Structure 1
Amino acid sequence: MKAVFFSFAAAFIPALVFGIVSKLVPGIYRLMELVTGFIRAIPTVAIILIALLLLPLSYTPVIICYFVVFPVLYTNISEGLRNVDGKLLEMARIYKFTNAKIIRNIYIPSLKPYIVAGSRSALGLNFKVMVTAEVFNFANHQSIGAQMYMHRIQIDLAGIMAWALIVVFISVVFDLLIKILFREKT
Structure 2
Amino acid sequence: MTTDARTQGGWSRSKVLLRALPVVSVLVMVLLWTVVYRFTVFLPSPSEVTSAAIEIVSDPATYGPVLSSLVRLVIGIGVGMIAALLLCLAGMRSSFVQAMVRTYVRIAIVVPSLLLALLGLVILGTTTWSAVLIVAVLVFPFAAVPMQDGLRSLEGAHLEAAHVYRFGRARTIRHVVLPHMAPYVFSAIRNSHALGWKVLIVAEIFAVRSGIGHEFQRAFDLFDIARVAVWLIVFLAIIAVIEYGVLEIVERRVFRWRPGKHREQLVAAG
Is TM-score (shorter-chain normalized) higher than 0.5? yes
Describe the shift of the 1:91–1:10 C-alpha distance in structure 2 as closer, same or farther (beyond 3 A).
closer
Task: Please state if 1:155 is matched with 2:226.
Answer: no
What TM-score does the superposition give when structure 2 sets the normalisation length?
0.62
User: 2 CA distance for matches of 1:45 and 1:92?
Assistant: 43
2: CA distance, partners of 1:61 / 1:101:
36
Matching residue within 22, 29, 53 for 2:98: 29
Match of 1:38 in 2: 107
Point out the more displaced range, 36-45 or 117-126.
36-45
Residue 96 of structure 2 aligns with an amino acid whose one-letter code is G
The root-mean-square deviation of aligned C-alpha atoms, in Å, is: 2.0
SS of 1:173 mapped into structure 2: helix
Unmatched segments (≥5 aa) in structure 1: none
Residue 185 in 1 paired to residue 256 in 2? yes
1:26 offset after TM fit, Å?
2.4
Return the TM-score normalized by structure 1: 0.86
8 A Cα contact 1:116 1:179, kept in partner: no
Q: Deviations over 1:32-75 (max 9, x none)?
A: 10112112222223223222222231133212212210111122
Task: Find the residue that maps to 1:8 and give its secondary structure.
Answer: helix
Aligned to 2:237: 169
Aligned counterpart, 1:19: 88
Distance in 2, matches of 1:66 and 1:104, equals 24
Deviates more, 1:17-26 or 1:73-82: 73-82
Q: After superposition, what is the alpha-carbon deviation per residue over 1:118-144, rounded to whole angstroms, capped at 9, x for unaligned?
A: 01110221112111221111x32x321
Query: Which residue matches 2:176?
Result: 106
Alignment: residue pair count: 183
State whether residues 148 and 160 of structure 1, in contact with CA within 8 Å, keep that contact through their aligned partners in structure 2. yes
> Deviation per CA, 1:82-139, whole angstroms, max 9, x where unpaired?
211233334445x5352355434431221000000101110221112111221111x3
Structure-2 change in CA distance of 1:145 and 1:83 (3 Å): same
Identity %: 22
Q: Match of 1:155, as an amino acid?
A: F
- Tell me how far 1:3 sits from its aligned partner: 0.8
Q: Give distance in 1, aligned partners of 2:109 and 2:137.
A: 8
Q: Decide which structure has the larger Cα Rg and report it.
A: 2
Structure 2: state its 5+ residue gaps: 1-69, 258-270
- The correspondence for 2:194, drawn from 124, 137, 142, is 124
